[in-house]
């Protein structure tokens, strides 16, 4: 197992390096990036400064290291607002992490619950009802659902705040209340997907020989279901969760963040793209990709723990 972990972490480093090169090359493909970075009213001196600072006057491989050094030492300045991008990112990150963790807990637990119920009552009314719900959840666009929730629960009936973010350290209760709607809005899609995936893996697993063995051993139906069926069926869910969770943290919840006016990573990315502000886009792209790869590596390690057959 420890050998597996070491190997997996090394391969993760390799992937991270490859991603940084790829992102760099994309960035490098921009025509005349210094002009782009400097903005419309830059003077010749400013452009020369940027050329030097970003290494545009140097060969490609030196430029790669120059830019990576800027990114990783936190010296990238946005050219639209002249603020430090890494500082900005750290400002937005808690919002997105709050959103991802809360929503993650909701969609994972509810998805598992619905999946188990659906499989347990396969073909009966409860299963059919949950199937319809899952379909609605999957096909309902989050901006539409979010807008409905925000309008009715927020503005019209005033049950929950319609949007905005309160820092956890300032007022935990308000933080929670403000996050409730975004959490649910973001979770609905994933609950639909997870419950369907889990339902079908459970129904496959139930017919496996070792489940029959478990019954023949004299285990109760409940023990058979939790220790053998569910334990084996949850493995694909773990993979899905790792990827989806990472994508949300890496800025994938743009729509939810926008609808509920949460200034998170996704919104930051959207704003920067809109303003053609290249440095934040570069940093956010790298950040998002890194989060996905790192969480992916941890998921693989967890996966190996759950399924000993892949510890090679």
Q: Report which of 55, 72, 60 is spatially closest to residue 25, judged by C-alpha positions.
A: 60
Name the minimum Å distance from CB 119 to other proteins: 15
Measure the CA–CA gap between 143 and 307, rounded to whole angstroms.
Answer: 38
Taking the complex as a whole, the smallest distance from the CB of residue 128 to other proteins amounts, in Å, to: 17
Quick check: 140 binds other proteins (CB under 8 A)? no
| CA triple 55-58-61, angle to 5 deg | 90
For residue 201, the minimal CB distance to other proteins (Å) is 13
Stretch that binds other proteins, among 33-41, 164-172, 230-238, 283-291 (CB under 8 A): 230-238
Smallest distance, other proteins to C-beta of residue 234, A: 10
CB of 203 to other proteins, least distance (A): 14
Q: How many CB atoms lie within 10 A of CB 2?
A: 7
The answer to whether residue 220 forms part of the interface with other proteins (CB under 8 A) is yes
Residue from 214, 259, 265, 286 in contact with other proteins (CB under 8 A): 214
- 31 interacts with other proteins by CB under 8 A: no
Closer Cβ to other proteins, 110 or 224, answer by number: 224
Residue 222 touches other proteins, criterion: CB under 8 A = no
Q: Where are the beta strands (DSSP E) in the chain?
A: none
Minimal distance in Å, beta carbon 241 to other proteins? 18
Query: Does position 125 bind other proteins by CB under 8 A?
Result: no
Structure tokens at 47: 């452009």
The reply on whether position 219 binds other proteins by CB under 8 A is yes
Residues 276-295 close enough to bind other proteins by CB under 8 A: none
User: DSSP secondary-structure letter at 59?
Assistant: -
Q: Does 212 interact with other proteins (rule: CB under 8 A)?
A: yes
CA separation for the pair 46, 49 (Å, rounded)? 5
Chain centroid offset of residue 159 CA: 28
Handedness of CA 40, 44, 46, 50 (dihedral sign): positive
Which sign, positive or negative, has the C-alpha torsion 181, 264, 256, 294?
negative
Site string for other proteins, 293-312 (x = CB under 8 A): -------------xxxx---
What's the CA gap between 299 and 25, in Å, rounded? Answer: 28
Q: In the bound complex, what is the minimum distance in angstroms from residue 132's beta carbon to other proteins?
A: 23
Angle between helices 231-247 and 172-205 (to 10 degrees): 140
Query: Which one of the spans 59-67, 81-89, 182-190, 211-219 is the region binding other proteins (CB under 8 A)?
Result: 211-219
Candidates 99-107, 153-161, 202-210, 247-255 — which segment interacts with other proteins by CB under 8 A?
202-210
Contact between 3 and other proteins by CB under 8 A: the answer reads no
Tokens 């005033």 locate to 158
Nearer to other proteins, 242 or 288 (CB): 242
Residues in Cβ contact with 169 at an 8 Å cutoff, skipping those fewer than 6 apart: none
The answer to whether residue 227 forms part of the interface with other proteins (CB under 8 A) is yes
* Site residue total, other proteins (CB under 8 A): 23
Nearest to 239 by CA among 284, 306, 187, 186: 306
| Contacts of residue 212, Cβ cutoff 8 Å, sequence gap at least 6 | none
Binding other proteins (rule: CB under 8 A), the pick from 213, 226, 243, 276 is 213
Residue 172 three-state SS? helix
Binding interface with other proteins (CB under 8 A): 208-210, 212-221, 223, 227-228, 231-232, 235, 306-309
């Amino acid at each position: 197992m420890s050998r597996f972990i070491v190997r997996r972490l090394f391969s993760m480093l390799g992937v991270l390096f490859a991603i940084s090169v790829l992102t760099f090359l994309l960035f490098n493909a921009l025509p005349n990036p210094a002009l782009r970075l400097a903005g419309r009213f830059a003077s010749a001196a400013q452009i020369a400064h940027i050329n030097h600072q970003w290494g545009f006057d140097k060969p490609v491989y030196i430029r790669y290291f120059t830019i990576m050094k800027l990114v990783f030492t936190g010296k990238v300045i946005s050219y639209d607002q002249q603020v430090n991008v890494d500082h900005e990112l750290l400002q937005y990150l808690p919002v997105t992490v709050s959103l991802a963790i809360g929503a993650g807990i909701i969609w994972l637990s509810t998805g598992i619950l619905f999946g188990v119920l659906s499989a347990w009552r396969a073909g009966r009314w409860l299963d059919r009802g949950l199937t319809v719900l899952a379909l609605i959840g999957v096909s309902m666009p989050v901006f539409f659902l979010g807008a409905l929730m925000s309008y009715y629960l927020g503005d019209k009936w005033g049950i929950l705040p319609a949007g905005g973010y309160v820092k956890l350290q300032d007022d935990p209760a308000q933080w929670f209340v403000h996050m409730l709607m975004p959490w649910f809005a973001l979770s609905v899609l994933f609950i639909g997907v997870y419950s369907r995936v889990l339902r079908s893996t459970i129904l496959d697993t139930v017919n496996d020989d070792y489940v029959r063995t478990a019954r023949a051993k004299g285990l109760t139906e409940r023990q058979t279901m939790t220790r053998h069926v569910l334990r084996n069926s949850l493995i694909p869910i773990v993979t899905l969760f790792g990827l989806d969770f990472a994508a949300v943290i890496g800025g994938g919840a743009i729509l939810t963040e926008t609808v509920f006016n949460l200034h998170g990573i996704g919104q930051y990315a959207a704003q920067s793209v809109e303003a053609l502000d290249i440095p934040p886009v570069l940093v956010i792209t790298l950040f998002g990709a890194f989060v996905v790869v790192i969480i992916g590596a941890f998921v693989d390690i967890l996966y190996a723990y759950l399924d000993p057959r892949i510890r090679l």
